[in-house]
A and B are shown apart, each in its own frame.
Chain A
Amino acid sequence: MKSLAELQAIKEKMKDKVVLREGSNDIRVVVGMATCGIAAGARPVLNTLVEEVNNGGLAEKVTVSQTGCIGICQYEPVVEVFESGKEKVTYVKMTPEKAKRVVSEHLKGGKVIGEYTLGGQNL
């Protein structure tokens, strides 16, 4: 059974790591979590991103955060990638499977997946 004592132990292990992490994030991944995003399936997309970023050893480079309505509700779930010195990338109609590919090919590999972006849709 999980207990607060166990949480205490995790904290002790993490204390030093936290200091290291601060300020080193240079990619920001933002998931739209307003009513439109949530209804379209943003929760599992967000949780997959958090999981894959950490399991892929990208935690020091990438922050995953949440925002409100981005304004293109019909394309939700929407994921935006901000990287300093580069143009913003907007991924639309995301799924957990697509999120996994974004982490491995874009966040890790540096290659934007054109077919998932807003520009890659048949408007």
Chain B
Amino acid sequence: MKELSLNILDIAENSVKAGASLTEITIEEDERFLTLIIKDDGCGMTEDILKTVTDPFYTTRTTRKVGMGLPLLKMEAEITGGSMEITSKSEKEYPDSHGTQVTARFCKTHIDFTPLGDVSASIVTLIQGHPDTDFLFTHKLPGKTVSLDTRELRQVLEGVPLNSYEIIKWIESYLDEQYQNQEESQ
């Protein structure tokens, strides 16, 4: 992927497809490292499936559950000297606490580090495509946190769909403004 933000969009789509009602996207960044955590309360995976999801050659067209998305993220993390791990609890085994968490760590100073790119665009795209599920986005940067909680917006909106054009545009500038303030304060 050209930008890490595109991987975020891609992996979060898996969460939505797994039936998540809330997908939490967290980025923690300092000068040297970037940690990405995507956590959902979707249907989860059994241990057997979990073992295979990062192997791009295991899945076949008819049985495929995840495809290339996770192997790509894993490769992009490892190529910088970082790592990726997935933990998951399937709905069958854990009816009250199921879900999946993907954690990827990157060394930002490595020459092969993929730049984060336009995260706002990815968050907006997720909300546009999935207005009925919730997203909690948190980006922790040195001295500043950018955040968005669709549950909060939903409360204000009282039934007006989150993917109405006017609302999408508002969310976009809400995020962009938070990032701009970040640049000024640095």
Residues of A within 8 A of B (CB): 1-2, 4, 6-8, 10-11, 13-15, 18, 33-36, 38-39, 43-44, 46-47, 50, 54, 59, 64-66, 68-69
Contacts and interface: CB of A to CB of B under 8 A. Distances in A.
A7 B9 contact: no
Interface stretch (B79-87, B121-129, B137-145): B121-129
Nearest to B70: A35
Given A43-B6, A68-B17, A15 B160 contact: yes
Contacts of A47: 121, 124-125, 128
A10 B72 contact: no
Majority SS of interface residues in chain A? helix
Nearest to A46: B125
B183 to A, nearest CB: 15
A48 to B, nearest CB: 11
B68 interface: yes
Contacts, number: 83
B4 to A, nearest CB: 12
B72 A33 contact: no
17 contacts: A4-B153, A7-B153, A7-B156, A7-B167, A8-B156, A11-B156, A11-B157, A11-B160, A11-B167, A14-B164, A14-B167, A33-B9, A34-B67, A35-B10, A43-B121, A43-B122, A64-B128
Interface of B: 1-2, 6, 9-10, 13, 17, 67-69, 72, 121-122, 124-125, 128-130, 152-153, 156-161, 164-168, 170, 173-174, 177, 181
A118 to B, nearest CB: 20
B72 A35 contact: yes
B156 A35 contact: no
Contacts of B167: 7, 10-11, 14
B76 to A, nearest CB: 12
Contacts of A35: 10, 67-69, 72
